[in-house]
Amino acid sequence: MKKFAAEGVLLFITLIWGATFVIIKTALQDLSPMLFVTIRFTLASLIFLPFLKKILKELNKATLAGGLVLGLFYFLGFSTQTAGLQYTSATKSAFITGSFVIFIPFWQVIIEKKIPGKGSVLGIVLVVLGLLFLSSKGKSLLEVFYELGSDFNIGDFLTILCALFYAAYIVYLDSISKKHSYLPLVFIQIGLTGILGALTLVFFSVAGIEKIKFTFNEYIIFAFLYTSILATVLASTLQTKFQKFTTPSKAGIIISFEPIFSSVFAYLILHETISFFGFIGCILIFTGLLASELLSTQNEQLSG
């Protein structure tokens, strides 16, 4: 039951994250990327202040070390994704971010010395195919590959880095969250992301890499409230607490539903439509999740 509950929680988190691509892409019209990252995660850190006494009580050197590792990859993932959104579309960002599922098996071998099961591998293959269909916009897959290559820009490259870093985060979270209390881990990784965001903002500003831009309005308030409270504090707390009850590959497959949710929000908010190929992609992603679930359950029963 814990496994199914955890996977349900991860799917709920993915729904929350699905809206962030449209929200952040729109917010970046009035805010520079690293400034957005700094404010978002600083606000999220402040929300934990009422729980600081409990956090410090559960904190030790091992938990601090684990939190710092998670925080580094957490920062690298969110900062590259946010910076990438300035140069690429929300839909393309969601698709490329979803490709992190490809990197999880490699990180599992490197970090955990584990080889993913057949069910996870089959699920990942189906999810990747589904993501390709989802991004096709009604064109053939050959045209999709051509467009990905011909229209490749710095935003796409930064988002690929995000996928690579986030895959590592997923695998590290699997091993670290099982050994330590979740609340200190969440606070450390969010706090470190806010600090690194501020330091990077200062460096980028001095180096001329990023020109600080900030326009205060009602939408910016909404964007910060949504991303800091729901997409950061709530989502990261739930993920850190529950992901340990499933496998990194399974978690990756579930989170790969993010582009589907992102497409739905893009349709509702930006009136973007999902093509016939997109519907096929959604079916393939769902099939990948189902295949991974059924095969892993079957293996557990056979081993039991």
pLDDT band at 40 (very low <50, low <70, confident <90, very high): very high
- DSSP one-letter string for 196-235: HHHHHHHHHHHHTS----B---HHHHHHHHIIIIIIIIIH
Minimal CA–CA distance to 74: which of 208, 249, 235? 235
For residue 303, what pLDDT is reported? 44
Question: 215 is written with which tokens?
Answer: 């326009």
Whether the predicted pLDDT of 282 surpasses 90: no
What is the helix (H) or strand (E) element at residue 17, kind and residue range? helix 2-18
Higher pLDDT, 201 or 256: 201
Query: In the predicted model, what is the mean pLDDT of the chain?
Result: 84
Minimal CA–CA distance to 267: which of 277, 257, 278, 256? 278
Question: 284 is written with which tokens?
Answer: 């393939």
Give per-residue pLDDT as tens, 100-111.
Answer: 887 888 888 888
At residue 13's C-alpha, the angle toward residues 11 and 17, to 5°, is 115
pLDDT band at 58 (very low <50, low <70, confident <90, very high): very high
User: Can you tell me whether residue 30 is helix, strand or coil?
Assistant: coil
pLDDT band at 300 (very low <50, low <70, confident <90, very high): very low
- DSSP one-letter string for 129-175: HHHHHHTSTTS-HHHHHHHHHHT--HHHHHHHHHHHHHHHHHHHHHH
φ and ψ of 99, to 5 deg = -75, -5
What mean pLDDT comes out for the span 160-184?
A: 92
Task: Tell me the whole-structure pTM to 2 decimals.
Answer: 0.82
Give per-residue pLDDT as tens, 109-128.
Answer: 888 887 777 777 787 788 77
Q: What is the dihedral of CA 96, 97, 99, 101, to 10 degrees?
A: 180
